[in-house]
Amino acid sequence: MTIGTFILKNAMRNKRRATLSILSVAVSLFLLVTLLVALRELTLPPEDIGAALRVVVRSKISIANLLPAKQRPIIERVPGVEAVSPFTWFGGTYKNEGGLTFGQFAMDASKFRTIFGDSKMPEEQFEAFQKDMRACIIGKLTAEKYHLKIGDRITLVGTIYPVTLEFNLAGIYSGTIDDRNMFFHHKYFDEAMGDMGQVGMWWLKVRSAEDMPQVITTINNTFANSSAEVRAETERAFQLSFTSMWGNIKLFVGAICTVVVFTLILVSASTMSMSIRERFRELAVLKALGFRRRELFAFILAESFALAMFGALIGVGGAYLLYTFGSVSKMTNGIFITLEVTPKIIGTAITVAAGLGIAASIMPSISVAKTSVVEGLKTLD
Amino acid sequence: MAENIVTIRNLSKIYRQGEINVTALDNISLDIRAGEFLTLMGPSGSGKSTLLHIIAGIDRPTSGECHVQGIDVAKLNESQLADWRNQNVGFVFQTFNLIPVLTAYENVELPLLLTRLNSKQRRHQVNTALELVGLAERKTHLPRQLSGGQEQRVAIARALVTSPSLVVADEPTGNLDSQSAQDVLGILQTLSKSAGKTVIMVTHDPKAAAFGSRTIHLEKGELSN
Amino acid sequence: MALPITYNIRNVFVRWRATVATIAGIALVVAVYMIMQTMAEGLEKSSQNTGDPRNIMIVRKGSTAESSSQVTRAQLKEFNYLPQIARDAKGQPLLSADVVVLVSLPRRDGSGEANVLVRGVSPVGMDLRPQVSLVEGRWFTPGKREVVVSRRLSPRFANFEIGGKFRTGGKELTVVGILDGSSSAFDSEVWMDADESRSIFDRENYSSVLVRAKDDAAGKEFVKRIESDKRLPLLALSEVEYYAAQTKTAMPIKFLGNFLAMAMSVGAIFAAMNTMYASVGSRTREIGTLRVLGYRRRSILISFLLEGAFLSLVGGVIGCLLALPLPLLGYSIGTLNFETWGETVFQFRMTPMLAVKGLAFSVIVGVLGSLLPSIRAARLPVIAALKSL
């Protein structure tokens, strides 16, 4: 036997309590990890590899305001711009489902590959998409969700635009950060709308990262004081602008999460210190046998630490496995696409668990220090 | 004539119990010789357990001196005292106080975890101690699988394993049937007679006290004979 | 025979340290649950407060938000003089053709931009919405670039105070007044003159039309009339109905609230279980004594369940009290509205029903947590109970 096995045996002596303690720590840490990854996802949306070279141009009034189609040749002439495509959010409902279940964008099909270089799709599917003006391509996740296959017909009823569009599914792509969106020909959209001469946004690809600041400034200045002022920004900045829209609810949810974690930690700590308090007499015996206070503290600490770490292993490990290998979009009803359990989050959770282990051992340690051997021997179990 | 292992001079212990002061020990002086089997007798509340606790270094006197092997126990600090107990005193309790999750062997090994002995040396000492109390075959049993007498013998083995010169026992037979009590007392007697240990035992059973080489009576915190 | 309840209540306080931790745990769980619920309630209430039963709203068929709806001037002419519409003293129909534009504006704290709903209203628009009142300054003058902002939005966006100016659509707008929407959806809006709005944002059409029907029957007839007219791709429905359907935004909050409550209550149940097991363990002898005295197993079981329920009820009450300051102080919170894509501002709202829900929730946690320990207590054999030290 070593001190280690002694601590382990002691920790597991009341199996029911040890299990309950471990489980409550596990639940707390699972929750903590979940909230941390969700908050991270809200404040820091996942970044696409290709996003570094993409610029989004939207109306300065707001994203809901349209831009004149005649801006295109002007933007194309800006030095450093490799490709420009209109990018219009269609916002149609599919199969009468209440909410929008995936994004639908009208764009210049010939520019798709240049702008979204990270998408993967068989060559023949891409060619079929280019040729057929009524063709669309759809992300793998959405295709799976609705059991769609190449050749299927898809009907979208517009909620923003008063048209109903019918598409032939020409290709299924994957490999982007959000394999859920649908893309189709802007020409088809224009035709259906009777050439309104407006687009939702412009998305463009610049030649190199060095060109980026210049391109953004040039575009913003070009349309300043025109009837359709624009805001050009990197795709990253565009994505992050959404996080500001969440308003103070984000802060609020953050605060609630802190309370949640604090609560569970309080509860777990009290549970663990209870199990030690009930062994007062035994600790007194150990004292009589010659164990020093310091060693008893180490015992108590090691025991609650072991319980906390074991709980952390289950909670954090469980969260990691679930969010890494499980289907996040299915679990969250499409609210989140990915939930990445980063090393930093794991580190935070483990630190909290360690703090919890230490916190749980403080009260019993103080009591043990205060109680003399004689008093301790008198306490009944 | 053997030398004195314990020298007590003018020892007093006063407790506060709520509002009133209770004098547990009142100006006691006493010498205990090495190798003695001393029994402390007296009615409950007479201070016999308190005296034992002070000698064993788990309680502190209010005034007076208690030298054990020339060391004034009352002057040691908490951790010195813990070390001192580990090396010099073996404890036997009325309620055995074995750790329920540990086997007989592991319970005996427990005090040795505080020493620098390696596992081989530890094994040797634990086995010797268990053989001495006649429980060598029971070492893998948990306390609840043992009878009361066996549990107390494991407790004695635990007290002996560090080879202390002093063994203290507080009513060791209080929870035992008479046959087990005989066995336990026999072992304690052997310890003092053949192994040269000093044994101090608190009891209120005259039959148990008869096993000792000398008996001291306490009454209201004073030696009464 | 039942044990007196005082027996349990006293026992709850004997082990006060573990008890306090358990009660505190349950209190915080209930508080979080209640706060999320008061939030969802407040959000739903803001939709409910908005509609007036006498009003009828006309939007484009198929559009899900006012800002993406379109009613052309030609379409408006088809129905603006229908006899079912009530008239004012001068004989003009009580009708407001609104222009709703989503505008991205900088936040006051400099943390980026957010969308605000700017509603252009006809002069009659104010009369049709009596819940909206001016609390400071004056109303905008038609034909001028003036706006009135909501009292709730004022602290959230830069320059949203009387005299403040902000730019959008290449034009400068001046804030001349502050409105209060009495906890309706209008609390999240900026109002200005409809025609001025159309000119600034270059809008040909209106977004929606609101009319006051003469009476209930006339209202129904009006709705039928619009629906049967095949030339009009429009949808008419009562204003109350329109806003009642706008509940999408509350859903994620409810989802989060329920998820947190679920996960936390699992933790709380474990804690209650541990406390109760410890309580049963330390009272083994006592339970044996009670059994010897003639108490039945069932009395012991019920007694321990009551103890757990009492424990958690105390926690529940504290939790409800903890959640009370937010609704009482009228703290408002803003987030992205999934219908309008604008910032929506609402207040926490506590109702007696919610309080009852919170307390019931705490009692369920307590009973679930003490169920197994109580069964254990009831099953203790009499002799074993008496033997235990």
Write the pLDDT tens digit of every residue in B135-170.
999 989 988 899 989 999 999 999 999 889 999 998
- The 10s digit of each residue's pLDDT in A69-103 is 999 999 999 999 999 999 999 888 887 665 556 88
Residue C173 touches chain A, beta carbons under 8 Å: no
Write the single-letter amino acid at A340. E
Range with lowest mean pLDDT among A282-291, A369-378, B149-158, C363-372: A369-378
Residue A16 touches chain B, beta carbons under 8 Å: no
Within chain A, strands assigned E span 54-59, 67-68, 81-89, 92-94, 104-107, 135-139, 153-158, 164-173, 182-185, 198-199, 201-206, 230-234
What is the Cα A236 distance to its own chain's centre?
15
If one counts the domains in chain C, the total is 2
The residue ranges of chain C whose pLDDT is under 70 are 1-7, 12-15, 17-18, 247-249, 292-294, 382-389
The DSSP 8-state label assigned to residue B93 in this structure reads: -
**Domain membership of residue C123 as a residue range:** 62-232
Q: At what angle are helices C352-379 and C16-48 packed, to 10 degrees?
A: 150
Quick one: C182 and C223 in the same domain? yes
Gap between the Cα atoms of B193 and A244, Å rounded: 86
ipTM value, please give it.
Answer: 0.73
How many CB atoms neighbour CB A87 within 10 A? 23
Residue C20 domain-assigned (yes or no): yes
Percent of chain A with pLDDT over 90: 28
Question: Tokens standing for B4?
Answer: 């004195």
pTM for the full predicted model: 0.72
Quick one: C187 and C264 in the same domain? no
Quick one: C146 and C294 in the same domain? no
Provide, as residue numbers in chain A, all residues whose Cβ is less than 8 Å from the Cβ of B58: 287-288, 372-374
Q: Report which of A276, A266, A270 is spatially closest to residue A299, judged by C-alpha positions.
A: A276
Quick one: C156 and C107 in the same domain? yes
Q: Report which of C104, C154, A60 is spatially closest to residue C164, judged by C-alpha positions.
A: C154
More confident residue, B5 or A176: B5
Q: Is B144 left (phi over 0), alpha (psi -120 to 50) or beta?
A: alpha
For range B36-46, the mean pLDDT: 90
Answer whether A64 sits within 8 Å of C115, measured CB to CB.
yes
Tokens 């730019």 label which residue?
C167
Q: How far apart, in Å, are the Cα atoms of B136 and each of B103, B105, C49?
A: 12, 9, 84
Q: What is the residue-averaged pLDDT of chain B?
A: 88
Give me the total of CB pairs closer than 8 Å, taking one residue from chain A and one from chain C: 176
Q: Suggest the residue from B60, B101, B142, B162 to mutate for an interface test with chain A (most A CBs closer than 10 A).
A: B101
Element (H, E) at C239: helix C239-244
Q: Report which of B54, B158, B180 is spatially closest to residue B106, judged by C-alpha positions.
A: B158
Evaluate whether C197 touches C126 at the Cβ level (below 8 Å).
no
pLDDT score of A347 more than 80: yes
Q: Report which of C286, C282, C287, C310 is spatially closest to residue C297, judged by C-alpha positions.
A: C287
More confident residue, A170 or C347: A170
Q: Which of C201, C232, C263 is the last residue of a domain?
A: C232
Q: What are residue C387's phi and psi, to 5 degrees? A: -75, -35
Gap between the Cα atoms of C374 and C288, Å rounded: 14
Which of A13, A286, A290 faces B100 most closely, judged by CB atoms?
A: A13
pLDDT score of A333 more than 80: no
What is the Cα C384 distance to its own chain's centre?
55
- Sign of the CA dihedral running C91, C94, C99, C103: positive
Q: Suggest the residue from A161, A196, A270 to mutate for an interface test with chain C (most C CBs closer than 10 A).
A: A270
- Nearest-by-CA chain B residue for A376: B58
Q: What are residue A56's phi and psi, to 5 degrees? A: -110, 130
Residue C306 domain-assigned (yes or no): yes
- Provide the 3-class DSSP secondary structure of residue C136: strand
Evaluate whether C63 touches C341 at the Cβ level (below 8 Å).
no
Answer whether A289 sits within 8 Å of B86, measured CB to CB.
yes
Q: Which of C203, C232, C261 is the last residue of a domain?
A: C232
Quick one: C98 and C41 in the same domain? no
Quick one: C191 and C76 in the same domain? yes
pLDDT for the residue numbered A172: 92
Going from the N-terminus, what domains does chain B have, and what CATH number goes with each? 4-223 (3.40.50.300)
Which of C255, C263, C274 faces A20 most closely, judged by CB atoms?
A: C274
Question: Tokens standing for A5?
Answer: 């096995």
Side-by-side strand order, sheet with A230-234: A92-94, A153-158, A164-173, A135-139, A182-185, A104-107, A81-89, A201-206, A54-59, A230-234
Evaluate whether C128 touches C122 at the Cβ level (below 8 Å).
no
pLDDT for the residue numbered A357: 87
Quick one: C118 and C141 in the same domain? yes
Quick one: C43 and C73 in the same domain? no
Question: Tokens standing for C61?
Answer: 């068929």
For range B120-128, the mean pLDDT: 92
Q: How far apart, in Å, are the Cα atoms of C136 and each of A55, C47, C245?
A: 43, 24, 32
Residue C243 domain-assigned (yes or no): no
Q: At what angle are helices A293-325 and A280-288 packed, to 10 degrees?
A: 130
Q: What is the residue-averaged pLDDT of chain A?
A: 83
**pLDDT confidence tier of residue B74, bands split at 50, 70 and 90:** confident
User: Which residues lie closer than 8 Å to C100 by C-beta, 6 or more apart?
Assistant: C66, C67, C69, C117, C118, C119, C120, C207, C208, C340
pLDDT for the residue numbered A235: 87
Residue C56 domain-assigned (yes or no): no
How many CB atoms neighbour CB A326 within 10 A? 11
Provide, as residue numbers in chain B, all residues whose Cβ is less than 8 Å from the Cβ of A285: 91, 93, 97, 99
- The 10s digit of each residue's pLDDT in A197-239 is 899 999 999 998 888 889 999 999 999 888 889 999 988 888 8
Residue C105 domain-assigned (yes or no): yes
- Nearest-by-CA chain B residue for A295: B114
Question: Tokens standing for C177?
Answer: 């007044």
Q: How far apart, in Å, are the Cα atoms of C300 and each of A239, C6, C14, C278?
A: 60, 14, 18, 16
Tokens 């070492």 label which residue?
B139
Answer whether B86 sits within 8 Å of A290, measured CB to CB.
yes
Quick one: C97 and C220 in the same domain? yes
Residue C278 domain-assigned (yes or no): yes
How many CB atoms neighbour CB B80 within 10 A? 14
Quick one: C131 and C154 in the same domain? yes
Quick one: C114 and C40 in the same domain? no
Element (H, E) at A282: helix A280-288
Q: How far apart, in Å, are the Cα atoms of B215 and each of B178, B190, C199?
A: 20, 17, 113
Q: Report the C-alpha dihedral over residues C317, C321, C323, C329, rounded to 10 degrees.
A: 160
How many CB atoms neighbour CB C195 within 10 A? 15
Chains with ≥3 CB–CB distances under 8 Å to B? A
Gap between the Cα atoms of C110 and C118, Å rounded: 20
For range B20-33, the mean pLDDT: 89
Gap between the Cα atoms of A158 and A164, Å rounded: 6
Residue C224 domain-assigned (yes or no): yes
Residue C241 domain-assigned (yes or no): no
Provide, as residue numbers in chain A, all residues whose Cβ is less than 8 Å from the Cβ of C336: 242, 245-247
Which of C35, C170, C336 faces A246 most closely, judged by CB atoms?
A: C336
Q: Which of C199, C232, C265 is the last residue of a domain?
A: C232
Quick one: C269 and C189 in the same domain? no
Angle at C341 between CA C337 and CA C343, to 5 degrees: 55
